[in-house]
Structure 1
């Protein structure tokens, strides 16, 4: 498909030239030039068809990806648990330690998906947290 879009005709591999095949046995030198010009006229249609296929493929990939995305949103005052990451895990923590820490209260929403947390004593954590690392805490 790409070769025909660049050169306006289908490619003939070397084995087809030496062997008698359908394309080499039905070659007509007089009509060849007219057929090549017709292929060049249809090049725009081939290009449009390739764009349609590419757009459909991109849509299909996005649909597959978005199916696995879990949207999380929280409001100020909600109680959440935060994921225990390597940066906040204690050095002497065991392998089977807790994976969630908390509960924490959402102090404010910086922008969608980014939240400032405060612990239950009212002390604000030093940096905001992404919703990807938080989950709702149910009492």
Structure 2
């Protein structure tokens, strides 16, 4: 009988040890899965944050390009207004000359001075316009490049 009791106790101890081992293994597997899940989630969050920061940086670059383009357009508008003012001055001067009695030499001298003034102003305006258009084109190209990179 004592052999039977010893056998049953041994069997019970073995089964208990097996059950505890299986429980520990199951817990370890579950724990490993949870840790792996947290690690993957953390990596995903880091990747998302990095993409967000990159997109923010690109957006700021695009906004700066937009501001530069707006500034260039504003300068072009200012130059246009200056040219319009100069044209009005020319029209006023022409009207004034037509009402004055002056000699041909006086008129020729005024015309020559006026032509030089117009040429100089025209050259200066063309240079300003050329620089502004180059800057605008550069801003446009940079903006297009930035937009393509974001897509």
Relative to the length of structure 2, the TM-score reads 0.29
Task: Please state which structure has a larger fraction of its residues in helix.
Answer: 2
Structure ID, larger Rg: 2
Relative to the length of structure 1, the TM-score reads 0.30
Task: Please state which structure has a larger fraction of its residues in strand.
Answer: 1
Taking CA–CA contacts closer than 8 Å with sequence separation of 6 or more, which of the two structures ends up with the larger relative contact order? 2
